[in-house]
Every structure is written in C-alpha cells, then in structure tokens.
Amino acid sequence: MSARYREIQSGYADHMRLDYNDVMTSPAATLRRARISDIISLRTLFVHALDTDFMYFPSSYIKKVKKQHSVARLSVSLLKKQRIVLLALMNRRIVGYMVGSGHPDGVGEVYWLYVHPSERRQRLGSKLLQSAVQELRNQGMNSIKLMTHQSEEYYAKHGFESVGIYKIDGLEVTIMQLSLRGEKHD
C-alpha cells in the first residue's frame, strides 16, 4: 500500500487541508474531504442524483457518466493530488458532495455539486462550493469553470459569470466562470 494511499485513506493528506483543519462543523452538518471508506456511500448518492435531479440529461449521457464514476474510478480519483472531493454529512450520513479539480493551466473546475433534496435550504451547497473555491485558490488557480443547466442564478450569487454555451448530447448547458485573479492566495 503506497504512502499516498494511506494518507488519503486516513483523511490527513497535507496538500488537501482545508483552512479549518479538514473539517467544518455546524450544529447540523459537517463538511470534510472524502475518504476511501466513503466511496460506496458517495457512489450511491451520486447515482441517486443522476437518476433524479440530473435526469434532464439524455439517458445516453447519464449511462456514460455512471460508468465513468464507478466505485473503482471514484477511489482512484481520490489519489490524484489536484482532485477535490468534499462531502456534507448529517448524522454521519453523506447528504451532499462537490467534485472538482485543479489543472496545470491555472483553471480549476467544479464538475459536480449536489445536496440531497431533504437537506436543502441549509446552505450546504454554498458551503461545499465556498470550500471548493478556497481549495482551488490554495492550489494556485486563476479561475474556476463549471457547467450548469438551469442553475445559473445560483452560481451568479457566488460570483460566477456566464461565459458561453455548450451542448452535451444535444442538451444546452451554460459555462460559468469565477475569476480568482487579484485575490489573495492563502
């Protein structure tokens, strides 16, 4: 077992630290980095999200995404230094997640942000997104991009601006970007 794998498994990888020492707790929720032991629960919630909230995507795309995000592939993604997988937990149950990554060109990405409908309206999505922005800022990113369908207003409230339209299997999604230039890196 590699040292990197052991770091991820235990949840104490230094390069992955959050400003609040890897865990942020509110009276109702905890935010922390995903660990190997979380993968099956994360994958279960991920599939639930695809089958419910993201069902506006064509079925061919959902099938492809499920295959790309198998338990094995999600586990391997945790070993990548630039990958960020954050979880929102309520009573030790995963109720939300954010998956993103930094890239050598200085542009970070938020791939997925989801909170289970039963736990919404508690700002968990905002906390996950803010934590991701801080992580990507710490990685030295100049900007962050994401794609959304019908959630432009939500991301605009967090400082993202629309920069284009992209088609995924015929579905138009909005590309949004948050500039980090000129902001202080911690």
pLDDT of residue 175: 94
pLDDT of residue 106: 93
pLDDT of residue 181: 80
pLDDT of residue 80: 87
Cβ-contact 77, 83 below 8 angstroms: yes
Q: Within the chain, which residues score under 70 in pLDDT?
A: 1-27, 182-186
- Is the overall model pTM greater than 0.75, yes or no? yes
At 121-171, the pLDDT tens digits run: 888 999 999 999 999 999 999 999 999 988 999 999 999 999 999 988 888
Q: Which residue has the tokens 């309520």?
A: 90
pLDDT of residue 183: 52
List, in order of start, the domains of the chain with CATH numbers: 3-179 (3.40.630.30)
CA distances from 52 to 85, 90, 107, 112, 146 (A): 21, 20, 30, 14, 20
pLDDT of residue 182: 64
pLDDT of residue 24: 43
